[in-house]
């Protein structure tokens, strides 16, 4: 991943631009999109008018004008802090977009016309269906499909990874992205996108967040916040005549301060930033989400469907065990399996050497470097080495080794067939090992489960997510791999339509399903799934069907993407809990302060023992303002997530952010009261 993606969540450039945007976002046309903060802005404008015209509502006094001015400044700072939080989140997306735009150079395209001649044109002039030629050093002008050739392509401009990837005609690795560079050989490419609509253009648009739509959960939460705001607005408006009736004179600016402190301004100011930051976290993880809804859907996933080969397992059959036969020892079988593989550079050969070394069996390579290496062929179905002393060491298919030792006058051990049959039933591949006319043992090759997946699947289970493995293997092999990996269910001998049926079955039970894929045959299932993660190395059809694209083409990344979605939901829930809990403390600060003079009994509620009514109100208002920027790092980075059931998560949030949301304001408001009381006294506001 490139360096830009490893930077801290805020840079000097982002902070500078965010400060400017904080003022630009004061435009009421923009603020009305956030109803909670729009109410605060209206209150800010009213306090500004009261500062200029203190007798606007029949109130008077020099000290009241100063008090109104202080309230106005604090409210303005509150709005600016909320705008700053959103601008910081947007700024990260814009910074990434600028980095991507640098890759979209004014490149040349080598267009192949109908006569087969090459004409050099600007990349912006290419259109869908054009055939272009790209050789080593050329920038691919636009998205397309390789129709001829084999070449390595540097995709670091898109993925941040330095290692080139191989692209070839046909199969699942034929898709190329505009802005990437051909490193070796050449390709003939059919353009599949028009300028301005390429994958890179869509990436830029998405990370800028210009078209970001609110997710269903975000809309629902906004409605809850608006409802709370309207309730408190009605309460505060009716409080004015009630206070008059009770003989209590409450300045309008104090009522506005009360309203701002009681409505959920904290989460209202951070809500957009949390949503934008959720998409940003996925993007910084090298996954492009086609919408905020896709990210949020990850947090609600109940079922995950994964391919076996390349996702759960490596896809290459690797050595897992050395089994002696014919009365020979395990040490003998291991040693000669190792020697037979010394010059075998296949995954199977290298894994045989690695497994022998791990088990403590080593040999000196120099002792065998002069031996004649026998390569594997489809005809012989075995490989090995002929030593200088005439010893012939072989490994290969059991029937091929049987024939080899028989021709040398040897005898096949009685237990060889039993061992090879048992391995085959488990879905493995048996390779017999022989020295001259003796069969010493069998190498058990199996499709190895990737390390760490067992623990990760256990984490998913703790979240309440069911995992289903899809494989074309027979049921016995599938059951073996499923048990070893720790998945909950498996579908053996799976066809593309079986994946769709599995997804539909889960969805019919009201569950959200995530799956990953890269081939054209995966496209229908990716489209059907609630979260479809396509590999960037895959086909255009797969990428168009999915709602997320993994730039690193790592199929197991779906596990982390789901955790990011969970973190987004938990962050929003935690900060909402904290915000509402905050209001409880502010209630105990302001209500007693308003009525204490006329109704001394109200002092019972002044449990914080705040100095005066003015200092209490201003302390609560100042705390209300500074808590927003204090929570920006949490909104941006997300609440630390631990896999657990929903009930446990709810309990944890209530204990940490609910109780904490009550305690922190009590402490904060009291400290601010102690600090500002001497200043207010000096200004005759004490």
Known catalytic residues?
A: 307
CB 325 within 8 A of CB 421: no
| Residue 376 in marked binding region | yes
| Residue 365 in marked binding region | no
CB 659 within 8 A of CB 298: no
| Residue 86 in marked binding region | no
Instruction: List helix spans (H) across 369-511.
Output: 398-407, 416-425, 453-462, 475-485, 496-508
d(CA 282, CA 289) in angstroms, rounded, equals 7
| Residue 143 in marked binding region | no
Do β-strands 531-535 and 548-550 pair in parallel, antiparallel, or remain unpaired? parallel
| Residue 380 in marked binding region | yes
CB 340 within 8 A of CB 436: no
Q: How far is CA 405 from the centre of its chain?
A: 55
| Residue 344 in marked binding region | yes
| Residue 104 in marked binding region | no
Q: Which of 275, 230, 254, 262 is nearest to 93 (CA)?
A: 275
| Residue 223 in marked binding region | no
Torsion angles phi and psi, residue 145, rounded to 5? -120, 135
d(CA 354, CA 453) in angstroms, rounded, equals 21
| Residue 383 in marked binding region | yes
| Contacts of range 238-247, beta carbons closer than 8 Å, 24 or more positions apart | 243/594, 243/595, 246/595, 246/598, 246/599, 247/598
| Residue 620 in marked binding region | no
Q: How many C-beta atoms lie closer than 10 Å to residue 510's C-beta? A: 7
Q: How far is CA 596 from the centre of its chain?
A: 52
Cα angle, residue 53 at apex, residues 47 and 57 outer, rounded to 5°: 75
d(CA 517, CA 526) in angstroms, rounded, equals 7
| Residue 254 in marked binding region | no
d(CA 256, CA 620) in angstroms, rounded, equals 12
Which residues are known binding-site members for ATP?
344, 348, 376-383, 395
Annotated binding site: 344, 348, 376-383, 395, 518, 522
Binding site residues for Mg(2+), as ranges? 518, 522
């Amino acid at each position: 991943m490139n360096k830009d993606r490893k930077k801290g969540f805020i840079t000097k450039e982002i902070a500078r631009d965010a400060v400017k945007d904080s003022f630009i976002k004061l435009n009421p046309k923009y603020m009305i999109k956030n109803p909670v903060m729009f109410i605060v802005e209206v209150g800010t404008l009213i306090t500004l008018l009261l500062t200029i015209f203190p007798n606007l509502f029949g109130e008077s006094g020099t000290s009241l004008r100063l008090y109104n001015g202080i309230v106005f400044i604090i409210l303005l700072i509150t709005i600016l802090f909320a705008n700053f939080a959103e601008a910081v989140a947007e700024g990260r997306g814009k910074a990434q977009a600028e980095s991507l735009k640098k890759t979209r150079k004014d490149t040349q395209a080598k267009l192949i016309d109908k006569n087969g001649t090459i004409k050099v044109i600007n990349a912006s002039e290419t259109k869908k269906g054009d055939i272009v030629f790209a050789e080593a050093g050329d920038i691919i002008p636009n998205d397309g499909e390789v129709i001829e050739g084999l070449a390595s392509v540097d995709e670091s401009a898109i993925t941040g990874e330095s290692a080139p990837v191989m692209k070839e005609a046909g199969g699942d690795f034929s898709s190329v992205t505009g802005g990437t560079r051909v490193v070796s050989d050449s390709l003939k490419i059919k353009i599949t996108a028009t300028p301005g609509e390429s994958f890179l253009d869509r990436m830029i648009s998405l990370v800028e967040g210009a078209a970001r739509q609110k997710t269903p959960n975000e809309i629902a939460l906004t409605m809850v916040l608006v409802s709370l705001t309207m309730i408190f607005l009605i309460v505060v408006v009716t409080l004015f005549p009630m206070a008059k009736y009770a003989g209590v004179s409450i300045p309008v600016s104090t009522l506005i301060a009360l309203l701002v402190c009681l409505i959920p301004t904290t989460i209202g100011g951070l809500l957009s930033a949390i949503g934008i930051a959720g998409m940003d976290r996925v993007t910084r993880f090298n996954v492009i989400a086609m919408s905020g809804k896709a990210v949020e859907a990850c947090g609600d996933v109940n079922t995950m469907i994964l391919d076996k080969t390349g996702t759960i397992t490596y896809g290459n059959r690797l050595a897992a065990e050395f089994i002696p036969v014919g009365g020979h020892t395990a040490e003998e079988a291991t040693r000669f399996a190792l020697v037979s593989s010394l010059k075998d550079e296949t995954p199977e050969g290298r894994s045989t050497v690695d497994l022998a070394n791990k088990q403590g069996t080593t040999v000196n390579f120099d002792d065998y470097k002069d031996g004649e290496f026998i390569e594997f062929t489809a005809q012989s179905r075995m490989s090995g080495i002929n030593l200088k002393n005439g010893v012939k060491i072989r490994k290969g298919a059991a029937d091929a080794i049987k024939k080899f030792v028989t021709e040398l006058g040897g005898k096949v051990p009685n237990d060889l067939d039993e061992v090879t049959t048992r391995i085959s039933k488990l879905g493995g591949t048996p390779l017999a090992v022989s020295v001259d006319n003796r069969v010493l043992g069998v190498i058990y090759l199996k499709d190895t489960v990737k390390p760490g997946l067992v623990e990760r699947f256990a984490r998913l289970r703790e979240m309440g997510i069911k995992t289903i493995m899809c494989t074309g293997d027979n049921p016995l092999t599938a059951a073996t791999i499923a048990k070893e990996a720790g998945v909950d269910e498996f579908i053996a001998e799976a066809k593309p339509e079986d994946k769709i049926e599995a997804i539909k079955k889960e969805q019919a039970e009201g569950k959200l399903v995530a799956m990953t894929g890269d081939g054209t045959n995966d496209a229908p299932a990716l489209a059907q799934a609630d979260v479809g993660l396509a590999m960037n190395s895959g086909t255009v059809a797969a990428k168009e069907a999915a709602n997320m694209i993994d730039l690193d083409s790592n199929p197991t990344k779906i596990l982390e993407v789901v955790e990011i979605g969970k973190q987004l939901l938990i962050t929003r829930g935690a900060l909402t809990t904290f915000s509402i809990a905050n209001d409880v403390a502010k209630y105990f600060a302001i209500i007693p302060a308003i009525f204490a003079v006329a109704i001394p009994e109200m002092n019972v509620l002044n449990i914080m023992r705040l100095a005066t009514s003015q200092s209490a109100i201003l302390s609560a208002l100042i705390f209300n303002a500074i808590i927003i920027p204090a929570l920006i790092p949490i909104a941006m980075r997300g609440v630390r997530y631990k896999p657990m059931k929903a009930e446990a998560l709810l309990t944890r949030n209530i204990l940490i952010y609910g109780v904490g949301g009550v305690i922190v304001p009590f402490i904060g408001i009291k400290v601010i009261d102690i600090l500002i009381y001497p200043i207010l006294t000096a200004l005759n506001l004490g």
